[in-house]
Amino acid sequence: MSRTLCAVILVLIVLHQDNWYWNDGRLVFGFIPIGLFYHACLSIAAAVVWWWATKYCWPTDSYLAAEEESR
Amino acid sequence: MTQLWIILGYLALLLILGLFASRFFRGTSSDYMVASHTIGPFLLLMSIFGTTMTAFALVGSSGEAYEEGIGVYGMLASSSGIIHSLCFFVLGIKLWGFGKRYGYRTQIQFFRERLESSGIGLLLFPILVGLVIPYLLIGVISSGVVIQNMTAGAFPKLFATESPATSGGIPTQWGSLLICLVVLIYVFLGGMRGTAWANAFQTMVFMLLGIVTFGVIANKLGGQASLWENLRVLGEAIPAEKATRTDMSKMKFFSYLLVPLSVGMFPHLFQHWLTAKSAKSFKLPVIAHPVFIMIVWVPCVLIGVWATSELVTIPPALRSRPNAILPFLVNSQAGPVLGGFLTAGILAAIMSSLDSQFLCLGTMFTHDIMGHYFDHEATDRRELALARGFIVIIVVITYLLSLLKPPSVFALGVWTFSGFSALTPLAFAALYWKRLTKWGAYASVLAAAASWGYFFSDAVGKAVQAGNPEPIRTYSLEVTLGGETYEVMSVAAIFLASVIAMVLVSLVTKPPGEETLKKFFS
């Protein structure tokens, strides 16, 4: 796993601990509490990170390549 | 009665799917256990998602939100979106490669060869099976309870009970039996391919029904002309303490991040990873899993917090049973047809986990015990017969255990996840750390088991003292740092014990041989 990916995952984990919205009850779009909206956005951010990881940090182990070729 | 017909119709559809899948069965044990490594990205995504999401994703999420507020999404769902995909990416792809190259069907086969130790299998086997069984029991018992609640009133004279919420409903033991039989039939006939197809179908069912239920309930509760207006009215009615995390411990929230690591050691998920057609098949599951979690969880969490508002009247008898909130709202707001479909959706979520667990336990008994110790020269035909035989035995045993109705089995949920989480560092180390030794692995497993046992017995003691199983479910540790006391999940201590033991013992014992290192790290 690349160092960049480790760092990005660490950032996601830090962002997950959103102490800044802990006691904030504002509604986003008039119906969704901001704490819930933030974490829903974090789920989308996680998907984007994983898309990036599958594109740029795909494992390069030789045995995986061999298994792909043997198909 | 409408609900019952919809449930029966859904189960019949599932059986037809199982029979159809069996027509593609190639007759080999590899096809039965890992679908001959032919599952592509879409089926892999749906089957993995269906396996990791249980009925808790629908019923438990709304119930927990009713009790704890919106914080449950961050604690249980967005954390899983990050950590589950991490495990698929970091563990799943590599293990798929080794599984395909060396013919593994179970985790224990991999650990035995990587750690040059037959004994590690003997240590891991009872622990893995022991952790899967409560998980299975929760599914089997829940299915009976759901069917009874949702068919209440269908047979008022035949199945009368004292509670009006269940009177006239199909008795729990019959509902559980029906679900066990349906799952057994399609797993027995279709093996892993049938399981993957059924999981994909069931995942689509429970995702779609979750969204429909959300829209219908919002429109009924809000009482306004449009869905948008209804959402605004309901949003504004959420009590402040449920719209924030005022009552939630920050450290507990943080330490909960370790719980989703459990997927790294789920034996049934390992088997699903092995079904992939290629390493590239993992891309879609890795990317889409967090979004799928969001699609299922956000509507359920909102329904749970709406139920705490003044716009909704929850009967006093249900206030202490949060898992009954969603079925109650569906029954009272959406009528019997949607009620029937939602029941099918909940059963879909339950069965999409049960099938994989039954199949993986059958595979483990066949390979890790029979094949390894007694039946080295088993033919493919015999292996297949053994696996099917074991699956039947496991289903029968699980059903019989469910009849005992163990009172605290639901409280065990987080404990089984904690156990698997504490074993996940071993999987990481086995793939990425050459210096991991068999003694380090033994130390890690034993430290996890001992610390898990210590905390669990403490929780049981508190439950006995309190006279109810609640302390088992809510157990946490209090850590004092710099004069402040923090609430931490016990999984943090168990995980730490497992990692420290593994690293220290590995460093002072003989490293693995050259051949092994070449096999797994070249």
* Closest by Cβ to A59, choosing from B94, B245, B277: B94
| Inter-chain CB proximity B89 and A53 less than 8 Å | yes
Other CB atoms within 10 A of residue B518 CB: 9
Coil, strand, or helix at residue B20? helix
For residues A15 and B357, give the distance between their C-alpha atoms in angstroms, rounded to a whole number: 34
* Collapsed DSSP state (helix, strand, coil) of residue B326: helix
- Greater confidence, B412 or B37? B37
pLDDT in tens, B489-512: 899 999 999 999 999 999 999 999
Looking at chain B, which residue has its C-alpha nearest residue A71? B278
User: Span B406-417, mean pLDDT?
Assistant: 75
Most confident of B373-387, B406-420, B452-466: B452-466
Helix axes B413-432, B119-150, angle to 10 degrees: 140
CB of A24 within 8 Å of a chain B CB? The answer is yes
CA distance B136 to B128: 12
- The residue range of the domain holding A32 is 3-69
- CB-CB under 8 Å, B89 with A31: no
* Residue B102 pLDDT > 80: yes
Please answer yes or no on whether A64 and B240 come within 8 Å at the CB atom: no
Whole-number Å distance between alpha carbons of B195 and B362? 13
- Per the CB < 8 A criterion, the answer to whether B132 and B360 are in contact is yes
Write down the pLDDT at residue B419.
94
| Residue among B71, B97, B248 minimizing CB distance to A61 | B97
Question: Does any CB of chain B come closer than 8 Å to the CB of residue A68?
Answer: yes
What are the chain B neighbours of A59 within 8 Å (beta carbons)?
Answer: 93-94, 279
Domain B2-22+45-406 = CATH 3.40.50.720: no
The two structure tokens encoding residue B153: 């009133």
Domains: count for chain A: 1
Q: Which of B370, B359, B377 is nearest to B198 (CA)?
A: B359
Is some CB atom of chain B closer than 8 A to the CB atom of A10?
no
Q: What is the pLDDT of residue B314?
A: 82
Give 3-state DSSP helix, strand, coil % of chain B, rounded to 5: 80, 0, 20
The alpha carbon of residue B456 and the mean position of all alpha carbons in its chain are separated, in whole angstroms, by: 20
B298 closest CB neighbour out of A1, A36, A71: A36
Is the CB of residue A33 less than 8 Å away from at least one CB of chain B?
yes
Tens digit of each residue's pLDDT (9 = 90 or more) over B288-329: 999 999 999 999 999 999 999 988 888 877 777 777 788 788
Say if the Cβ atoms of A44 and B74 lie within 8 Å.
Answer: no
pLDDT at A33: 96
C-alpha separations of B3 from B70, B315, B331, B467 in Å:
30, 22, 10, 36
The helix/strand count (H/E) of chain B reads as 23, 2
Tokens standing for residue B87: 């495990």
Tell how strand A27-28 and strand A32-33 pair up. antiparallel
Query: What is chain A's length?
Result: 71
Whole-angstrom distance, CA of residue B272 vs CA of residue B82: 19
Q: Tokens in use for B522?
A: 């070249």
pLDDT in tens, B276-288: 999 999 999 999 9
Chain Cα centroid distance, residue B494:
20
Q: What is the DSSP letter of B90?
A: I
Task: Give SS3 for A28.
Answer: strand
Q: In a 3-state reduction of DSSP, which class is residue B481?
A: strand
Residue B347 reports pLDDT greater than 90: no
Strand partners, B479: B486
Least CB–CB distance from A47: residue in B93, B245, B288:
B288
- Residue A42 contacts B, CB cutoff 8 Å: yes
At residue B199, the pLDDT reads 85
Q: In the block, which residue shows the tokens 């829940």?
A: B142
By Cβ distance, the residue of A22, A46, A71 closest to B244 is A22
Residues of B within 8 A of A44 (CB-CB) are 290-291, 294
Query: Measured between alpha carbons, how far is B330 from B214 in angstroms, rounded to an integer?
Result: 9
ipTM above 0.95, yes or no: no
Q: What are phi and psi of B74, to 5 degrees?
A: -65, -40
Q: How many CB pairs under 8 A join A and B?
A: 134
CA distance B438 to B511: 8
How far is it, in rounded angstroms, from Cα B52 to Cα B410?
Answer: 17
- pLDDT higher than 80, residue A61: no
| Parts of chain B belonging to CATH 1.20.1730.10 | 2-22+45-406
Q: Can you tell me the distance from the alpha carbon of B308 to that of B494, in angstroms, rounded to the nearest whole number?
A: 35
Q: How far is it, in rounded angstroms, from Cα B26 to Cα B418?
A: 38
Q: Which of A9, A44, A51 has its CB closest to that of B294?
A: A44
Listing DSSP states for B197-221 in one string gives: HHHHHHHHHHHHHHHHHHHHHHHHH
The answer to whether A60 contacts chain B (CB < 8 Å) is no
- pLDDT at position A69 over 80: no
Q: Which residue of A has its CA nearest to B257?
A: A13
Is B82's CB within 8 Å of A9's CB? yes
